[in-house]
């Protein structure tokens, strides 16, 4: 029996992920960073996977990141990397080509970006939309999910892209310590956000540019009027 999309879905359901979806890289309108963009031609399909962050750990994030959140953040990223490697390995065992990208690796420090935008791929895969907080917002889990991406030449169908769904929710806007979040997502203050998380990183001896405040505030369906999946 050939390894097709349905068998891939069954395989993905056996892995320890909370979300997955498929996208076509034809729809990815940004350049890859630090890697040849021709990979989008040889590996034109994308698999997006997500793992939800611990609600218990996020509950400890009151006025900024702490070492517990930092450790958990790193562990979830490591889990994503391990699972993405398994997926890529499975695809290649089945005769396809695949490339797994790191869940959290900065390759351009000036622009604070990795090889590929996992949130953009996840939005193309129908897992959510880019919210006011500049993060991927999932209907069920809000922004409390970490994502990574696997590119492949295995033919996959496009998932339906979701429209902006934050509606009138301003939970993230009201708690942002830098005031970077605005009603219109296009007005998000990237520089203000980066300056604030740099300040937190230095003052709290956190080894990464993370915050967690708007992540904790964006909880998805239970606290807003979003429609569940």
What digits encode the pLDDT tens for the residues 2-36? Answer: 899 999 999 999 999 999 999 999 999 988 988 88
The 10 Å Cβ neighbour count of residue 6 is 8
d(CA 102, CA 115): 8
Predicted pLDDT of residue 19? 97
Helices marked H in 2-66 — which ranges?
Answer: 5-13, 39-42, 55-58
Residue 209 lies in a domain: no
Residue 182 lies in a domain: no
The pTM of this model reads 0.92
Predicted pLDDT of residue 110? 59
Our count of domains for the chain comes to: 1
Residue 88 lies in a domain: yes
Q: What are phi and psi of 99, to 5 degrees?
A: -140, 120
What is the sign of the dihedral through the CA atoms of 126, 99, 33 and 179?
A: positive
Predicted pLDDT of residue 220? 87
Residue 100 lies in a domain: yes
> Which residues of the chain carry a pLDDT beneath 70?
108-112, 222-229
Closest alpha carbon to 18 in 150, 142, 130: 142
Spatial neighbors of 205 by CB under 8 A, at least 6 apart, are 67
Residue 26 lies in a domain: yes
Residue 191 lies in a domain: no
Residue 34 lies in a domain: yes
Q: Strand, coil or helix: what is 50?
A: strand
Predicted pLDDT of residue 228? 34
Q: Which domain holds residue 116?
A: 5-59+68-162
Predicted pLDDT of residue 226? 35
Residue 141 lies in a domain: yes
d(CA 212, CA 70): 9
Predicted pLDDT of residue 109? 59
Q: In which element (H, E) is residue 133 found?
A: none
């Amino acid at each position: 029996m050939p390894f097709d999309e349905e068998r891939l879905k069954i395989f993905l359901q056996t892995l320890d992920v909370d979300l997955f979806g498929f996208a076509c890289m034809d729809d990815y309108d940004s350049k890859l960073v630090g890697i040849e963009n021709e990979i989008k031609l040889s590996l034109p399909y994308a698999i997006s996977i997500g793992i939800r962050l611990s609600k218990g750990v996020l509950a400890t994030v009151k006025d900024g990141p702490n070492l517990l959140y930092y450790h958990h953040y790193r562990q979830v990223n490591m889990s994503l990397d391990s699972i993405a490697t398994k997926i890529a390995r499975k695809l290649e065992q089945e005769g396809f080509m695949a490339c797994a990208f790191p869940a959290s690796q900065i390759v351009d420090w000036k622009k604070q970006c990795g090889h590929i935008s996992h949130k953009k791929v996840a939005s193309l895969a129908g897992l959510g939309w880019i919210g006011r907080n500049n993060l991927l917002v999932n209907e069920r889990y809000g922004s409390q999910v970490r994502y990574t991406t696997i590119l492949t030449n295995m033919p996959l169908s496009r998932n339906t892209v979701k429209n902006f769904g934050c509606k009138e929710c301003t939970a993230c806007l009201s708690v942002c310590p830098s005031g970077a979040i605005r009603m219109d997502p296009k007005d998000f203050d990237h520089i203000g956000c980066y300056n604030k998380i740099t300040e937190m990183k230095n003052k709290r001896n956190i080894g990464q540019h993370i915050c967690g405040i708007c992540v904790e505030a964006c909880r998805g369906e239970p606290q807003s009027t979003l429609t569940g999946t």
